[in-house]
Amino acid sequence: MIGMTTPPLETPGSRDFVKQSSLYQEFLAEREEILKHKWLESERLGHDIGFERALLDWIRKHRDSWRAARRAQTGVAKAAAGDAKKTG
């Protein structure tokens, strides 16, 4: 087949690397919060609202404060402030 490329081979170590990455861990934590929001809102409304509606609602109402609290909890905000003082 012309124009098709072979996808890169996945090594056993590459999957572990991704699962241990902070970006992936952040994704999993955020997904868990969205699923909690979906459950709570579905219970409140008496029917399943679906993932997409829960996702959009959670982003609009809760994501910014959740991320700020998570940064404070993990110390990322403190480290960033320390780095800014060093360069400023």
CA 67-80-70 angle, to 5 degrees, is 20
- Tens of pLDDT, residue by residue over 12-22, are 676 776 677 88
Among 47-51, 57-61, 76-80, which is the least confidently predicted range? 76-80
- Tens of pLDDT, residue by residue over 21-34, are 888 989 999 999 99
Q: Are 51 and 38 in contact (CB under 8 A)?
A: yes
Q: Where are the domains of the chain?
A: 29-87
* Euclidean distance between the first and the last CA atom of the chain, given in angstroms as a whole number: 55
**Is pLDDT of 59 > 70?**
yes
Cα atoms in the Cβ-side hemisphere of radius 13 Å centred on 46? 0
